[in-house]
Amino acid sequence: MSPASPLLAALLRAALPGLRTLDLGPPTLFPWLPDALCGAVADADALPPAEAALLRRFRHPDGRPLVGFDPAADAALLAGAPAAWGDAPERLVRFAATPPPSGLPADALLLLPTDADLPSGPPRARILLLLGAGEAVERHDLLVPPARLDAIHAALRRAAEALAGGAAQGGRWSARALAIADGMASVALLPEEGQTHRPPLSIPAAALIHDAPAPAGRDGLELPGTGRVRLLLGAPPAGRLRAVLRGEGTHRAALFGDGRRLPATVVEHRSGETILEAERWPPGGAGVPVLGVAVPAPAHAVLLRLELLP
Amino acid sequence: MRPEPESSVPLDRLTAFTPLPPERNGIADYAAMLLGALARHYDCEAACEDWLADAPPGIAVVDPALAHRAIAGGDGRVLHQLGNNPGHGFVLEALRRVPGVTTLHDPGLLHLRQTAGATRDTLLAGLRDAPPAFARYARGVAAEDRWSRADHLLFDMAGEVLARSRAVVVHSRFARNRLRALHGEAATAHVEVIPHLLPPFAAPPREEARARLGVPPDAFLVCTAGFATSAKRFDWLIEALEAVPAAHWVHAGAERPEEFPLSAAIAERPALRGRARVAGYLSEAALTDHVAAADALVNLRFPSAGESSGSLARGFAAGVCCVVSDTGAYAELPRDAVLRVPLAGAAPALAEALAALAAEPARARAIGEAGRRFASTEMALPAVALRYRALIEASRGRPVASRPAAPAKPVALALALGPGLTAAAVARALGGVEGPCRLLLAAPDLVSLADLSLERPGLLDGLLPPWAALRAIRVLDGPCAGLLLDVDAGQRGARAA
């Protein structure tokens, strides 16, 4: 995750109604866009066997594995099959690096890092997104069909102005949109006082990417009898992290960050919910961060939600 | 408290993939004791399927699915503790991905393979390990897909473990020789014998233990321990005890009725009524009391695949007279340290031995003391840990066999299947491919697919170019609805011809 990820996600969500994202490479927009489809790595075939085995465990909320681990589902996504995208009217593919030379849905929007090469295929216009993250400014390039450049640019400008006016936690932010050249425009959303947009985020169990044998239901994610579940986090949490549980033995629950036990407080509420809170994520982890939640076996417990706090 | 390292130099990390207590198996107990001792030499962590397991103080339990991230490249120090039951499935998985030194507590792994989700094909492929003498029998097993109890002795399924380990530890020469006989010299050159370890506990005095258990001071108490499996020959023991009316017997362990119905077998023998019982699985303290209270710890085995026994080590530690079968690894124990019972005529020989011990308690105590002396020399935990360290360090650079290559992934292509899809577009998509290929014709949903197939009869015949052979077809529903085709696109040169 980049520091501007929450702001980028908020901007895209506000500007592009019905957006569904394919977040390839270490996730940037997930979980800030909770229904994003994730490919945790750029090239699953190049992974060491143990890492591939780990990532192969995970399932999206609709049961699909991570992108890169199911050739048929991957092909359907890249072919632009509507069902693969949940019939979303707007589709975005984010790449951590240069996109592949072919095989991209023709009408999808593409989000690239600054230094990535342009993909081949139909011509695309470019919108530079300049987003403030503390003292730094991040740039992301949104590639759009040329015929839609004006409409999407205008929508991003309106969204940026709305965020600058209301959602930026009381700080002073400036929003600016420019038409730079033919086929190129920009939208800037910058803090005036070195702030970072990082609102608290509550992710319901039904939106989590996990390795439990059954998908989450309306009542949460039922932990398997072993009492262990792994959750794929989009990025190392920058602040506090909470897992909210209900059920037997949750007062003895534990959190694991990248496989290692996290110091955590456990608070039981009269409502029946148990909140495990870890102050900080261990630094220096390699790979996509994975949160483990464990309760003593045989487990009769449900994970209700995950909260990422500033 | 964690043992102090020998110097202030930071210790190297050692990751041990192993079950740990409270899992009810002897290997979990062994691993906990071993790690406690290895912590003097390494910064140990235990990768255990139960993340909340009980590790020795100062040793972190980590998720085995993520432990590889902290292991330095292919050169990290890794230890696998592998036994022949489903609780070790995750160790076998880890061994395939992260090679290291493997302790093979049971040289035969067929039960683990069968219970850890191995496919039929994997099991049958394991028969390739069969030595030439069993080859014909192995072909019969493969052809008829029938497995018998004898197969657990004939086919150890240990070939993969030998190939993927930097070194292999077994606890007896018998186990090493058995591996060597089945797999050959070259494949077993890295197998080392490190004796089982002596549990570092202080056994309570016999009188105290008996008082806690309600055993009279003058009773002659026979103890057995561990899971009650058929190979532990409780049938022989029951027969022998019928002939020794002075003996009381307690089995300090859990039953496995599917293997041997111990309680039922005892109940069938009126002569044992009131002097034989099954205590079931016991806590560490209760198990120690039972062993310490005994006059004889009986640990029979037939057939033996070279397994090691944690119960026997516990008996040695308590200074109890141990009675074993004269076979397998037990035959390597010094003659004065245990009482050996021959396999032929085992039950009467055992009865004779127990009667003699009951009549002469001093002899039982002398054998127990000799056993304790032997174990404290050969099986002392610090010495065992040092031998492990030497092997871990010496084997670090040793290459292991490569993982079997995954089958080549066919080229995957996808096209949106709709009224506008033409044969020319399909031919263009397949034009750059040679050989097998997977083509997804993605439809919005199954209804659309059905409509299209009605509108365009012979849909696939019309879409696929003549040089592409359709090998298989699957109809997919859900998020990737459509037709998934396995196609052989042939060779480009052949197409032109």
pLDDT of A33-55, one tens digit each?
Answer: 989 999 877 677 788 889 999 99
Interface contact B480-A76, CB threshold 8 A: yes
Q: What is the pLDDT of residues B299-328, one digit of tens each?
A: 999 988 777 888 999 999 999 999 999 999
Return the ∠ at Cα A112 (arms to A110 and A114), rounded to 5°: 145
Give every CB contact of residue B351 below 8 A, 6+ residues apart in sequence: B239, B240, B241, B242, B243, B244
Residues of A in contact with B52 (CB under 8 A): 227, 252, 254, 294, 296
Average pLDDT over every residue of B412-436? 82
Interface test with B, best of A43, A223, A256 (most B CBs within 10 A): A256
Q: Which of A107-116, B105-114, B236-245 has the lowest mean pLDDT?
A: B105-114
Q: Which of B116-130, B246-260, B337-351, B453-467 has the lowest mean pLDDT?
A: B116-130
Q: Which amino acid does the sequence have at B8?
A: S
A59 touches chain B (CB under 8 A): no
Band of pLDDT at residue B26, cut at 50, 70 and 90: confident
State the nearest Cα–Cα gap between A197 and chain B, in angstroms.
31
pTM of structure: 0.84
> Above 60 in pLDDT, residue A169?
no
Tokens representing B334 are 């010094």
pLDDT value of position A209: 95
Q: Which residue has the higher pLDDT, B459 or B226?
A: B226
Q: What is the pLDDT of residues B362-412, one digit of tens each?
A: 999 999 999 999 999 999 999 999 999 999 999 998 999 887 655 566 667
A254 touches chain B (CB under 8 A): yes
State the nearest Cα–Cα gap between A99 and chain B, in angstroms.
17
- Identify the bridge partners of residue B101 per DSSP, sorted by sequence position: B79, B167
* Measured distance CA(B259)–CA(B270) in Å, rounded: 22
Interface contact A259-B62, CB threshold 8 A: yes
pLDDT value of position A192: 75
Average pLDDT over every residue of B170-197? 93
pLDDT value of position B170: 96
State the nearest Cα–Cα gap between B176 and chain A, in angstroms.
29
pLDDT value of position A149: 96
Query: Which residue in chain A is spatially nearest to B69 when comparing CA positions?
Result: A286
Helix (H, G, I), strand (E, B) or coil at A193: coil
Interface contact A84-B479, CB threshold 8 A: yes
A261 touches chain B (CB under 8 A): yes
Which long-range contacts does A13-19 make (Cβ < 8 Å, 24+ apart)?
A14/A159, A14/A162, A14/A163, A15/A152, A15/A155, A15/A156, A15/A158, A15/A159, A15/A160, A16/A90, A16/A92, A16/A109, A16/A152, A16/A155, A17/A89, A17/A90, A18/A88, A18/A89, A18/A90, A19/A88, A19/A90, A19/A91, A19/A92
Interface test with B, best of A233, A260, A261 (most B CBs within 10 A): A260
